[in-house]
Amino acid sequence: MSAARFEQIALIGIGLIGSSIAHAARRAGLAGRIVGSARTAATVEKALQLGIVDEGFQTAAEAARGSDLIVLCTPVGMCGPIAREIAEAGAFSDAAILTDVGSVKGAIVRDVAPHVPVGVHFVPGHPIAGTEQSGPEAGFAELFDGRWCILTPPENCDAAAVARLKAFWQGLGSHVETMTPEHHDRVLAITSHVPHLIAFNIVNTAGHLERVTDREVIKFSAGGFRDFTRIAASDPTMWRDVFLNNKQAVLEMLQRFSEDLTALQRAIRYDEGDTLHRLFSEARTLRRGIIEAGQDTDAPDFGRRTTTHQAGADEKA
Ligand code: NAP
């Protein structure tokens, strides 16, 4: 049997990420059974209808019972309470691996680790892949292909459990890297969290310019603004939890961002064309580096695919 294969995988939360894990695990033959739970009965029902889970439950504890891999795929703020619920029900199997997919890692370790019984291996994770879509219908097997998944195992974590989870994510199509939760949160603050905040903000700023909103914002949105509106369509609950749980790193990166923005403002105000040209050239070089690293294409329109579920899969996390 492959080390990456689990007898029963429990998905706690069956939205975009949970359902994509199910599709990718089935594609790679990594699951004997897949079970799941969600907040609402409607989502569990939908996941059953779509064949994402073999069995659905109303509670996380019922789904976790008897599972050798439990993946928390809910908004970040729910991970701690759910781990506590499973622990209090005595539903963790001995030697099970507990992981999550949350976009923040320090707060998840803080909230989940106290509830993990001895003998259960907690290995936090974060696939750097996603779209602005939510729900069980949004998932697809290719979501993780060629994307990174970051694991943040605690120092005393069982090495065999980490290796097994790493093999699982590789089986789902990902490259895997390990780092500390603190490092993860600083990196993701600048690569994902602050960009989302900027998108939410710029779309609202345009929306508040009432005269423009009705027609021109939509009519002329083929420019950069269109990309911001797509990112700003991301799930408000998920992103509320990201910002509330990665405060320190986000605020630090925002401070740096506003200093750099002030430098640009100043260059514009004082007609410092050379400064603007230099700063824009630096940004362009960074973009080329991303393409060379295979994390995007240089095709026109960012090589964006036209299928709705894959559009923009590269930018989200
Ligand atoms: P999603 O599509 O909105 O799905 C969230 C799921 O969590 C839903 O099935 C929801 O159930 C369930 N849920 C919410 N509260 C719950 C609770 N108290 N108990 C049990 N289930 C609960 O979200 P997603 O995009 O898959 O994101 C899930 C996680 O992945 C988040 O932590 C996010 O940070 C992380 N992530 C997201 C992306 C992305 O681009 N979207 C990328 C990487 C990582 P209902 O449907 O019944 O409400």
- Give the number of other Cβ atoms within 10 Å of residue 243's Cβ: 18
Q: Which residues have a Cβ under 8 Å from the Cβ of 122 and sit 6 or more positions away? A: 98, 99, 112, 113, 116, 154, 157
Domain assignment present for 307:
no
Query: Whole-model pTM?
Result: 0.91
The answer on pLDDT for 295 being more than 80 is: no
Tens of pLDDT along 118-172?
999 999 999 999 998 999 999 999 999 999 999 999 999 999 999 999 999 999 9
Verify that 144 and 199 share a domain, yes or no.
Answer: no
Q: Is the CB of 231 under 6 A from ligand 1?
A: no
Verify that 13 and 97 share a domain, yes or no.
Answer: yes
C-alpha 12 – ligand 1 centre gap (Å): 9
Verify that 106 and 210 share a domain, yes or no.
Answer: no
Domain end residue (candidates: 121, 150, 179): 179
Verify that 208 and 76 share a domain, yes or no.
Answer: no
Q: Which atom of ligand 1 is nearest to the CA of 17?
A: 26
Instruction: Identify the CATH number of the domain in which residue 259 sits.
Output: 1.10.3660.10
Verify that 10 and 119 share a domain, yes or no.
Answer: yes
Verify that 155 and 66 share a domain, yes or no.
Answer: yes
The answer on pLDDT for 39 being more than 90 is: yes
| Contact yes or no for 24/141 (Cβ under 8 A) | yes
First-last CA distance in the chain: 32
C-alpha 209 – ligand 1 centre gap (Å): 32
Q: Is the CB of 66 under 6 A from ligand 1?
A: no
More confidently predicted of 245 and 209: 245
Q: Is the CB of 135 under 6 A from ligand 1?
A: yes
Q: Is the CB of 313 under 6 A from ligand 1?
A: no
Q: Which atom of ligand 1 is nearest to the CA of 42?
A: 47
Q: Is the CB of 36 under 6 A from ligand 1?
A: no
Q: Which range of residues forms the domain containing residue 85?
A: 6-179
Share of the chain above pLDDT 90, in %: 79
Which of 7, 1, 35 has the alpha carbon at shortest distance from 21?
35
Total domains, the chain: 2
C-alpha 19 – ligand 1 centre gap (Å): 10
Verify that 197 and 99 share a domain, yes or no.
Answer: no
